[in-house]
Chains A and B, each alone.
Chain A
Amino acid sequence: MTVGTDPFAEVAAACWSDAALAAGLLAIDPAGLGGVWLRAHPGPALDRWTALLRELMADGAPVRRMPAHAADDRLLGGLDLAATLRTGRPVTERGLLAETDGGVLVVPMAERMNGSVAARLAVAIDTGTAAVERDGVSARHQARIGVVAIDEGRDDDDAVPAALLDRLALAIDLRPVDWRTVDRGVPETLTKPVVEAARRLLHRVNVDEAAVASLCGCALALGIESLRIALLAGRAAAAHAALHGREEAAEADLQAAARLVLAARATRMPADEAPQDEPAPEDKDASQPEDSSEDPAEPGTDTPSADQLLESIQAALPPDLLERLATGRAARQSAPAGGRRGEEGVSRRRGRPVGVGRGDPRRGDRLNVVETLRAAAPWQRLRGRDGGAILVRPDDFRTTRFRRNSESVTVFVVDASGSAALYRLAEAKGAVEMLLAECYVRRDQVALVAFRRDGAELLLPPTRSLVRAKRSLAGLPGGGGTPLYAGLEMAAALAEGIRRQGRTPGLVVLTDGRANVARGGVGGREAAVRDALDAARRIARAGIAGIVIDTAPRPRPEAADLAQAMRGIYLPMPHADAATLSRAVQVARGDPVGRRPAA
């Protein structure tokens, strides 16, 4: 590789050579490695990388593309409707998972994937089979696949579901790679015959105990909890050894594995004594793996210790790791909830399916073809069918029923500004927690928007996970100005999105109403209050239900005005503690008359 003096070119060259290497390793052992977490934007680098992978894959091994939102009938397989209707007997078809057996499934925009698709891929990677129990089909197909999850996410809010990431050995980043770097090509050693030889050699490669210990120690020091990742690092080392014709994993193989598998998943700096995300007492020994005297095996002379491995991958650690750690976001990057975008948004576009019943598709109900066929089937002989097309009468039509707006999402809008923080941010947090518990019991989802300084932040997208809600709340710092308008605007946009998905949004605003940051981040109380009231009126016009809880020690008119502009309920809570607050909101929400008082 040519290394220029330009630091950017250097980074690009390093990323590209790692990416090419990852393509080679994946081509050697797609099912064993599980796949690649490929951070990239569409462009020449991505195109060239995909072409390289295709080129190196075994002859006849399928490389299929899968949309991130693939539905179950395509993913798992089921009844082949066209063939069934044509032939008049049930014909089953295999899904993408089974069709990709022995090959690689490429998923563009994997950051848009929802938790249930990710879970299906995860099962296929874990078990090498695709189990189908749907549409009257019961089958097990082989599905030994590797997954290339192309993560095109531009910020932390978009992330590939963690359940999937945990099963993809290789993590590479093509974002810094420009076309000039790509044009220089890939190492000459990375050719199809070499990869084929490596594939044959792979099952003879041994990763000894000392090497496993080094990789495990390195993973621990980087704060990688999952054992699966440590296991995958071992397999990557084996594949790398095979690529270089070695039957015993050597130092270079371990370094490559640490760089390609472990580095991108670090949640703390290796030298960092203090555990980063959660203060777990057991973490103490984790940060010094090398001093444990009862190491299963002392590293041999040619096996690097965990320490040496760490050193070798310093350059590959995410450049912004320190910064992210400082803001407490590393944990988020490493553990975005799989169910976050939820199944709801996709498979329940029109509310939750709650079964199938007789219906008329001409009225716009969604026809359920399989159930319709079932309904028509017993009558075929009576209706005089002679082996040709199936005779379906309007009576047979079955449609899927959805329960619309069955789910509500409570959006908490929390004032974390200096003025609120001074008084009672802690109490507001307590109240939100209690309300969360209540939402949990009712199976509602919750979301959390906080505003302070010069803007609002979506701390928690709609979720049912209390664990996450609580974590994001605990990490909420206080201080700074009060950009009330920004909080309300973000909440309104979120609420409208929720409604488009067929769920019912409701806002709970906790503030003292004393806005002092206006649109555009300018100071000035008057403009700030005006902007906030504008935003509140927009919420009222959109017909979104809301409650304003005045957190000021002495209630003042601002918050009441706000509630009125929102056409929501106003709850002054001068001396209320968390429990009183929560009860008040419960009462306010439970009262159908008080829900939306006439303006």
Chain B
Amino acid sequence: MSNLYPFSAIVGQDEMKLALTISAVDPSVGGVLILGERGTGKSTAIRALAALLPSMKAVSGCRYNCDPAADRALCAPECRERRAARPDEVIDAPIPVVDLPLGATEDRVVGALDLERALNRGEKRFEPGLLARAHRGFLYIDEVNLLEDHLVDLLLDVVASGENVVEREGLSVRHAARIVLVGSGNPEEGELRPQLLDRFGLSVEVVTPRDLKGRVEVVRRRDTFERDRAGFIEAWSDSELTLRETIVRARRKLLEVGLPDAAVERAAELCLALGTDGLRGELTLIRAARALAALDGKADVDDDLIRRVAPLALRHRLRRDPLDDVSSTVRVERVLSDIFPS
């Protein structure tokens, strides 16, 4: 993790950085989907996110990332037995950012019978999968549009229910899996299913910078990084630290941010005008605006904040006419300028 490209060293791409920062402040916003052309730094930004996350309280030795304060009913049998035997030893652990690599098979995603134990000792033991590892954290899917359909179904189910239910090889395991999906993909290589699209709280469309100066800066920084990773990371450690502290502070302040009725009405008005389906859009919009307020040190959610996060929270929820020439971003902008006359 320590030799990753620093988040704050990414040139431009402000919208992408804003979306990721918001999801780091309030994971309940529901993850980020980053779509864009090749070579725009999508994966770099997401992998760099891990370094900005604060730590969380975890139970030492727990293979399911259990929350010491959580409801015990949702823990795997293993955790309930352990708790019955001895009190939890609480430690600080990094919030997990787990990669779902291409070619991952279902048994590794949901977990399966531990083959080693079974063959060597005849013991029936569950080997938790990536979902358990990503519990209370982020699951990163690169090239999300190349994901096999049956894995997509499975993820949708787990993300919606917050728990992973495994019934296979005579094992019956159920454990909490509250996971924020972060995905990246290139729309040229296949479309995303609308159901999956909807599971991402925020979405960003990234494009390559077109101006020479910006492009040169990107190439220069990357080159400097490749030659001397440690030195580059050291050089950016101050700004990384500042950003991390901002995020930690915002997380603490999140619950203090006021939500005036006017702001809620604004959000509803906006969603109505755009014709977004369901309540998810409104909820995400408000949560994202609140996270941004906490980041900016504002006391209340206001029009300006809503306006800034609206494209992120809503553009992938418009009823799709996928062939409409007008991009969703433009549609959101139009409605925004109607509702918030400047």
Q: Point out residues on A near B: beta carbons under 8 Å.
A: 32, 72, 75-76, 79, 88-90, 115-116, 119-120, 123, 126, 131-138, 162-163, 166, 203, 207, 209, 212-213, 215-217, 219-220, 225-231, 234-235, 280, 282-283, 285-286, 289, 292, 294-296, 335, 337-339, 343, 352-356, 370-371, 373-375, 377-382, 390, 433-434, 436-437, 440-441, 443, 463-468, 470
Contact = CB atoms under 8 A, between A and B. Distances in A.
Contacts of B217: 296
A138 B114 CA distance: 12
A479 B56 CA distance: 66
B296 to A, nearest CB: 29
Interface residues of B, number: 68
Contact of A292 (B41, B127, B150, B213): B213
Interface string B80-97: 000000000000000000
A374 B113 contact: yes
A523 B112 CA distance: 66
A209 B107 contact: no
Contact of A355 (B104, B106, B193): B106
B189 A374 contact: no
B40 A227 contact: yes
A231 B219 contact: yes
B212 A292 contact: yes
Given A120-B102, A203-B227, A136 B212 contact: no
A335 B294 CA distance: 42
A463 B101 CA distance: 23
A135 B105 contact: yes
Contacts of A390: 119
Contacts of A32: 226
11 contacts: A32-B226, A116-B102, A120-B102, A123-B102, A136-B115, A162-B188, A230-B219, A282-B210, A338-B189, A352-B148, A370-B107
B63 interface: no
Nearest to A138: B108
Contacts of A131: 99, 101
B227 A436 contact: no
A214 B222 CA distance: 17
Interface of B: 37-41, 43, 99-109, 112-116, 118-120, 122-124, 127, 129-130, 142-143, 145-146, 148-150, 169-170, 186-191, 193-194, 208-213, 215-220, 222-223, 226-227, 320-323
Given A75-B103, A229-B39, A374-B169, 14 more contacts: A88-B119, A133-B109, A163-B38, A212-B223, A226-B208, A231-B222, A235-B223, A283-B210, A292-B211, A337-B188, A356-B106, A377-B115, A378-B113, A466-B323
Nearest to A217: B212
A524 to B, nearest CB: 38
Contacts of B143: 119, 163
A596 to B, nearest CB: 28
Contacts of A440: 191, 322
Nearest to B149: A352
Contacts of A90: 115-116, 119
Contacts of A466: 191, 322-323
Q: Which 8 A-B pairs have the closest CB atoms?
A: A377-B118, A228-B39, A381-B122, A131-B101, A133-B108, A133-B104, A134-B105, A226-B39
Contact of A377 (B101, B119, B190): B119
Contact of B43 (A126, A380, A464): A126
Contacts of A339: 145-146, 189-190
Nearest to B192: A464
A434 B323 CA distance: 8
A436 B142 contact: no
Contacts of B104: 133-134
B220 A209 contact: yes
Contacts of A88: 119
A440 B145 CA distance: 14
A240 to B, nearest CB: 15
B186 A89 contact: no
A390 B123 CA distance: 15
B113 to A, nearest CB: 5
Nearest to A221: B212
A162 B115 contact: no
A465 B215 CA distance: 28
Nearest to B194: A441
In the complex, which of the residues A378, A436, A437, A470 has the most CB atoms of chain B within 10 Å of its own CB atom? A378
Contacts of B145: 339
A489 B26 CA distance: 57
B150 A354 contact: yes
Contacts of A229: 39
A467 B142 CA distance: 20
Contact of B115 (A134, A289, A373, A463): A373
Nearest to A126: B43
A334 B215 CA distance: 20
A163 B222 CA distance: 19
A226 B38 contact: yes
A282 B106 CA distance: 44
A505 to B, nearest CB: 19
Contact of B193 (A216, A219, A443): A443
A285 B213 CA distance: 11
A440 B217 CA distance: 39
B293 to A, nearest CB: 32
B190 A209 contact: no
B263 to A, nearest CB: 34
A445 to B, nearest CB: 10
Contact of A166 (B38, B119, B211): B38
A355 B118 CA distance: 22
B169 A115 contact: no
Contacts of A441: 194
B208 A380 contact: no
Nearest to A76: B103
Contacts of A209: 216, 220
Nearest to A122: B143
Given A72-B103, A138-B108, A282-B210, A115 B322 contact: no
B223 A216 contact: no
Contact of A378 (B38, B170, B323): B170
Contacts of B37: 225-226
In the complex, which of the residues A133, A162, A371 has the most CB atoms of chain B within 10 Å of its own CB atom? A133
A187 to B, nearest CB: 28
A463 B130 CA distance: 30
Contacts of B100: 133
A434 B118 CA distance: 54
In the complex, which of the residues B108, B146, B194, B218 has the most CB atoms of chain A within 10 Å of its own CB atom? B146
Given A115-B146, A216-B216, A433-B323, A467 B187 contact: yes
Contacts of A163: 38, 143, 186, 189
Contacts of A76: 101, 103
Nearest to B222: A231
A451 to B, nearest CB: 23
Contacts of B213: 292, 294-296
A132 B212 CA distance: 39
B219 A227 contact: yes
Nearest to B143: A119
A294 B150 CA distance: 51
Contact of B212 (A220, A354, A467): A220
A496 B208 CA distance: 40
Nearest to B217: A296
Contacts of B129: 133
A465 B323 CA distance: 11
Given A115-B146, A207-B223, A433-B323, A133 B101 contact: yes
Contacts of B122: 377-382
A378 B124 contact: yes
A500 B146 CA distance: 22
Given A136-B112, A343-B146, A380 B101 contact: no
B215 A227 contact: yes
